[in-house]
Amino acid sequence: MDSNNVTGDSGGVLQAHSVHAGTISFGGAARGPGFGSAEAPWARLAGQVHGRDGIVADLVAEVRSAQPSVIVLHAGGGYGKTTVALSVCRAVRDAFSVRWVDASTSSSLLEGLREVALAAGAEPRRVREAWDGRASAPAVLWAALSTASPSWLLVLDNTDDLSVLTGPDGLIDGRGWLRTPPPGCTLLITTRDGRPEPWPESAARHRLHQLPEPDGAAMLKGLCPTAGDDLAAGSLSRCLGNLPLALWLAGRYLRNARTIPLVPGLDVPRTFGEYEAAWRDRSVELTDQVDRSAGPRAQLSSAWEISLELLADQGHEYARPILRLLSFFSPAPIPHDVLDAQVLAAEPVFHGLTARTMATTLARLRGAGLLGSVGGGKLPTCVALHPVIRDVTRAQPDVASHHSGYGLSVARLLTRHAEHLVHAELTDNEAYASLFLLHARQSLLEQVDHSPASCAVTAALLDAIACIVENGEQGSGNAEVLRKGARRIRTLVAGSGGK
């Protein structure tokens, strides 16, 4: 067999161009050629970047001033962090030596940082020793980085799992991978982890938000100029929560759809309006056929599942079912005090859930950019779910099969809360009461649509809500819609023999 066996200290810096045949093995373990790179993935910036001039200018100014020198850019999956980081690199690449490492897995991080060390002038023999485990690799890397010239910008992209970077003394300035850069140099970290705690106070944290609607519309028009006018593009952008990943997938879908021959009977959306209508019906299928080759981060159905997996790996076992549960509330903000762990713990999927785990799980979901938080003034503190994350979560296969289960859990939570509300006379707070009624109305109507047989819960919910409506002087349209829902349920229940 044609095989190369390379052992000892020669392995770590072999690159693809120096390997022509056979299996390279280090210390007995088989390895292929190295593909580590410290080059920025410029090809991903091929199209126009919309609506990010402000944040890019701010970050460029911070890089140029080098004060502070650790920048953390965070947001949930698909908000465009990688795109913004690349735009910053493009803007400064004439004056700075730009290095880029994919930190999404520990192997891509290790390979990338090895290339950074070499590019920064570390001695190849020292790098080999360190990456073979015979010396401290972070020490070799930072010795080279602290004397490298010209000033550098090092991007650690997709650093969602901070544990891959953490050393024995914590995340930064210990014996791990991250140190404070020398003056004039910058570390730019993109991550889905929005918690402030892991970072030193001197780090500049920036949260990336969804695009302004006109920029979302411009992005759609740029991807598929013939699919409709500005108004239709704006409406679709709004429907997709102005989320760049969803917009990008929609634009690509429409561009591809226009190349499909229009044979009779084919029902493929070709315009912004048709896409919006189809999205409201089916959500996730509309995007996932387009770009499987681009990997899971580029698919809506898995973009957030990756974050949920990471949270589960970190011991937050309820993160997935709680997000799924939240997606069964109405799209309005969900008051914290509706989320009673005791009520949920009766369900097998939430077995063992306590108030403490509910609170920490919500905090971690927020940290991962999967939930937002609103409240203040007359509004109670609430969690808010991005509309696209909500739609896509509800369309996950396991959710579809457990549909009535989550719906019932929401109904039970609302019932319990309604009882509290009646007793506490919280209904004086109109903002609170109408928020609650909104959720209750949706839950009722969904129960009717999906499980008319579960009349015990819906009837209890109805009773509780009727009390609120009577006690709380909610003379608005809400009350009438509720009563209509109630009549529909009673008719259904009567029709099914009261089962």
191 belongs to the binding site for Mg ion (CB under 5 A): no
52 belongs to the binding site for ligand ATP (CB under 6 A): yes
Q: Residue 83 touches which of Mg ion, ligand ATP, none (CB < 5 to 8 A by kind)?
A: ligand ATP
**Per-residue string for binding with ligand ATP, 182-221, x by CB under 6 A?**
----------x--------------------------x--
Closest Cα to residue 248, out of 49, 12, 478, 490?
Answer: 49
Q: With CB under 5 A as the contact rule, which of the stretches 151-159, 174-182, 192-200, 490-498 interacts with Mg ion?
A: 151-159
Site for Mg ion in 72-131 (CB under 5 A): 81-82
Q: Which of 11, 13, 26, 50 binds ligand ATP (CB under 6 A)?
A: 50
* Closer Cβ to ligand ATP, 131 or 248, answer by number: 248
**Per-residue string for binding with ligand ATP, 83-112, x by CB under 6 A?**
x-----------------------------
Q: With CB under 5 A as the contact rule, which of the stretches 153-161, 208-216, 373-381, 485-493 interacts with Mg ion?
A: 153-161
Q: Residue 416 touches which of Mg ion, ligand ATP, none (CB < 5 to 8 A by kind)?
A: none
The β-bridge partners of 382 are 335, 374
Q: Which of 87, 108, 158, 409 binds Mg ion (CB under 5 A)?
A: 158
Number of chain positions touching ligand ATP (CB under 6 A) = 21
Q: With CB under 6 A as the contact rule, which of the stretches 8-16, 47-55, 395-403, 453-461 interacts with ligand ATP?
A: 47-55
Least separation in angstroms between residue 145's CB and ligand ATP is 24
Number of chain positions touching Mg ion (CB under 5 A) = 3
Q: Residue 154 touches which of ligand ATP, Mg ion, none (CB < 5 to 8 A by kind)?
A: none
**Per-residue string for binding with Mg ion, 217-236, x by CB under 5 A?**
--------------------
Q: Residue 80 touches which of ligand ATP, Mg ion, none (CB < 5 to 8 A by kind)?
A: ligand ATP
Q: Which of 37, 69, 108, 158 binds ligand ATP (CB under 6 A)?
A: 158
Q: With CB under 6 A as the contact rule, which of the stretches 2-10, 78-86, 177-185, 400-408 interacts with ligand ATP?
A: 78-86
* Closer Cβ to ligand ATP, 33 or 47, answer by number: 47
SS3 string, the chain, reads CCCCCCCHHHCCCCCHHHCCCCCEEECCEEECCCCCCCCCCHHHHCCCCCCCHHHHHHHHHHHHHCCCCEEEEECCCCCCHHHHHHHHHHHHCCCCEEEEEECCCHHHHHHHHHHHHHHCCCCHHHHHHHHCCCCCHHHHHHHHHHHCCCCEEEEEECCCCHHHCCECCECECCCCCECCCCCCCEEEEEECCCCCCCCCCCCEEEECCCCCHHHHHHHHHHHCCCCCCHHHHHHHHHHCCCCHHHHHHHHHHHHHHCCCCCCCCCCCCCCHHHHHHHHHHHCCHHHHCCCHHHCHHHCHHHHHHHHHHHHHHCCCCCHHHHHHHHCCCCCCCEEHHHCCHHHHCCCHHHCCCCHHHHHHHHHHHHHCCCCEEEEECCEEEEEECCHHHHHHHHCCHHHHHCHHHHHHHHHHHHHHHHHHHHHHCHHHCHHHHHHHHHHHHHHHHHHHHHCCCCHHHHHHHHHHHHHHHHHCCCCCHHHHHHHHHHHHHHHHHHHCCCC
Least separation in angstroms between residue 249's CB and ligand ATP is 8
Q: With CB under 6 A as the contact rule, which of the stretches 163-171, 244-252, 335-343, 483-491 interacts with ligand ATP?
A: 244-252
Q: Which of 81, 179, 390, 402 binds ligand ATP (CB under 6 A)?
A: 81
Please give the single-letter amino acid code of residue 293. S
Q: Which of 11, 34, 36, 78 binds ligand ATP (CB under 6 A)?
A: 78
Site for ligand ATP in 270-299 (CB under 6 A): 297
Distance CA 326, CA 371 (A): 10
Q: Which of 12, 51, 241, 321 binds ligand ATP (CB under 6 A)?
A: 51
Distance CA 282, CA 205 (A): 36
Beta carbons within 8 Å of 126's beta carbon, 6+ residues apart: 135, 140
Query: Which residues are near ligand ATP by CB under 6 A?
Result: 47, 49-52, 75, 77-83, 158, 192, 219, 244-245, 248, 297, 303
Query: Which residues are near Mg ion by CB under 5 A?
Result: 81-82, 158
